[in-house]
Amino acid sequence: MRIFTLCLLFLTCTFQGCTSVNPGEGLTCLLQECSWEKGPSKERVALVIGNDIYRDGPDDCDEETPMGSLSKGSELRFNNLCSSVEDADDMTETLRKKLKFNVIIKRTNVGRDQMKQAMAEFTQYLHSHPNSIGLFYFSGHGLEAGGETYLIPARFEPIPFPPGKTEVSSDDLQKASVTGSDILNMFTPDPNDRKKVTNRGNIVIFDSCRNSGEKNEDNKGGLRIKKGSEVVSVNPGASIDTRSIPDRTLVAFATRRGTTADSGKKGENSPYTGSLLKFISKPDLSISEVFEEVKRVFNNEAPEEVTQEKQLPSVLRGEDPEGRFFDTYYPAGKGAGGAGSRW
């Protein structure tokens, strides 16, 4: 059986452009940008996606473009971003070297089908390793409307607007994007129980906007997203229902609902990812404390009177029945008191 498995891996790598390294050191897939490496007994598996190319033509970017800013015109389209690939690269490096994630699937500038394929690979590995901790990270354009988050794939195919209107149907948008529900469903193996997870715990990070696009010229709101004849998006929009978040799963957003998240300059990180990378590798912070520290950075930078448009990160949590994840899991090591994580 072992010989058969090794042969299968060899054949897979032959056709996918993978390189096998010394026995015991794992399998590194160059073309697919993933790595199965020998690691700690407690599996840590991550799916990292960064998209910043959203239109055909020159790969130029506007450093002032928020991660949800729409191109103006007769169709729904998005401008290029400058820092999402850099964010994904640096997040991958931190997860691998400082947080000892031993399985990382990374994709950059990928379309919807490629995102879905990577999600399937991640899901399969996660569910086959019940002792694992899972992490999903996305940097790129995003929208939120009617309690749903839409992650926008690279090279987004524009959706035409009806004559004289700035609106799209939720069905069209869902077919062209990956939804927050799609992401949360990766962690629950039982389709009849979307709250139950079988692994140790999960972290979901959305470094993207949570509004419905830019305001119209009449200042009456953003992009209208319709479900049938009903408009489901009026800024600031509804948030994800916490009852839909799987147990032992933390969902971190770069900003509050109804607001935009800033992207970074070329060669730099976005403000949110830059702050997250600083704190997530500190050994004396639990997972809850990591994201509280990130929120504190933005709160301290905010003026005394916070405007509706100000970027302020937010966090939602599923239930933690045994109290064994949010406050006892230290991503980078032990707690301040020297006690190791129960995980």
pLDDT at 84 > cutoff 80: yes
Confidence of residue 218 (pLDDT cuts 50, 70, 90): very low
pLDDT at 226 > cutoff 90: no
Q: What pLDDT score does 148 carry?
A: 87
Q: What pLDDT score does 321 carry?
A: 80
Residue 238 domain boundaries: 39-317
Domain membership of residue 269 (yes or no) is yes
Q: What pLDDT score does 110 carry?
A: 97
Q: For residues 317 and 245, is the Cβ–Cβ distance under 8 A?
A: yes
Residues 129-155 have a mean pLDDT of: 92
pLDDT at 256 > cutoff 60: yes
Percent of the chain at pLDDT > 70 equals: 71
Domain membership of residue 187 (yes or no) is yes
Domain membership of residue 80 (yes or no) is yes
Domain membership of residue 120 (yes or no) is yes
CATH code of the domain covering residue 54: 3.40.50.1460
Q: What pLDDT score does 215 carry?
A: 46
3-state helix/strand/coil string of 233-261: CCCCCCCCCHHHCCCCEEEEECCCCCCCC
Q: For residues 122 and 44, is the Cβ–Cβ distance under 8 A?
A: no
Domain membership of residue 323 (yes or no) is no
Residues 247-272 have a mean pLDDT of: 91
Domain membership of residue 17 (yes or no) is no
Count of structural domains, the chain:
1
Domain membership of residue 335 (yes or no) is no
Confidence of residue 95 (pLDDT cuts 50, 70, 90): very high
pLDDT tens, position by position, 279-327:
999 988 999 999 999 999 998 765 444 445 678 899 999 998 877 788 8
- Of 187, 185, 183, 192, nearest to 202 by C-alpha is 187
- Of 209, 223, 296, 306, nearest to 261 by C-alpha is 209
3-class SS of residue 165: coil
Domain membership of residue 294 (yes or no) is yes
